[in-house]
Every structure is written in C-alpha cells, then in structure tokens.
C-alpha cells in the first residue's frame, strides 16, 4: 500500500513486476515469490485503510510521499491540519491517491537451510498446465 503519486508507485507503473522474500530464522526457511503486479480494487483498498490506526490514516492524507520536504515542521503542520480536518470524522475516508498492489506470483522459491551451505532449493514456475518444480543448486 502506498501513495499512488509516490516514487514506489511510479516504479510499479513503469515496471509492473515485483518480488518479495520472507525469511523465518527460527525454522531456517525462506520463501521468495515474484510476478506481475496489479493494483487492488477500491473496495479492497477501502477495507484495508479502515484497519489502519487513525494516526496512519491522518499521515496518508498529510504526506506527499517521496516528494521533497521543506522542513520537518512543514510535515508536522500538515499532520496537524489533517487532524483538525478529520477531528469529527469517523471513519476517516481513504485518500483517493492511496492504494495497494498485489503480486500475482508466477514464480515461487522455497529455500531450506542446509549444513555447510548445502541448502535445499525448490523453484516453482507457473506454466499453462499448472506449476512446474525444479531443484536448484544451493
């Protein structure tokens, strides 16, 4: 989720692919997925925005994310202005310039830690017939 006018959103529009990696140290495993990115629908954005803390909702209205900032005080003043604007509003509506993206995975890699760096790696690639699995060198 991001300001749709941010550098992150600009990058996703220019190259609508992304990847993410999650590492679980406790179980020594990692999952990475990659694929095309698609914007979420308004109802999905609204539902998620409603779960965010009120301060984060105010911040989404106050911040022109990724744009140059005159001073820290200018940002604090913008936050105070939005707090005043929404003082008697509950719930705070989602800003029209704020929304999320979904990675539609077409590749998933599962990595299992191995002794002496002899890891076990499986890569799943989406094909027209389902998912194909290949083992990878560590």
Decide: pTM greater than 0.85.
no
Q: Which residues are catalytic?
A: 117
- Provide mean pLDDT across the span 106-125: 97
Residues counted in the chain: 138
- Provide mean pLDDT across the span 98-105: 96
| Residue 29, pLDDT score | 97
| Residue 16, pLDDT score | 96
Q: What is the crossing angle of helices 54-62 and 72-85, to 10°?
A: 120
Residue 108 — very low, low, confident or very high, per pLDDT cuts 50/70/90? very high
- Tell me the residue ranges of DSSP E strands in the chain: 2-3, 17-24, 29-39, 98-99, 101-103, 107-112, 120-127, 130-136
- Provide mean pLDDT across the span 50-69: 95
């Amino acid at each position: 989720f991001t300001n749709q006018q941010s550098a992150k959103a600009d990058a996703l529009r220019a190259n609508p692919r992304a990847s993410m990696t999650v590492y679980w140290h406790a179980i020594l495993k990692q999952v990475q997925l990659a694929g095309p990115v698609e914007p979420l629908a308004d109802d999905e954005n609204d539902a998620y925005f409603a779960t965010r803390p009120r301060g984060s909702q105010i911040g989404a209205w106050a911040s022109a994310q990724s744009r140059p900032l005159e001073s820290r005080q200018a940002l604090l003043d913008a936050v105070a202005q939005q707090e005043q604007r929404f003082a008697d509003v509950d719930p705070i509506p989602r800003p029209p310039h704020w929304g999320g993206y979904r990675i539609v995975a077409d590749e998933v890699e599962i990595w299992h830690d191995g002794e002496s760096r002899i890891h076990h790696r499986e890569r799943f690639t989406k094909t027209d017939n389902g998912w194909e699995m290949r083992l990878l060198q560590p």
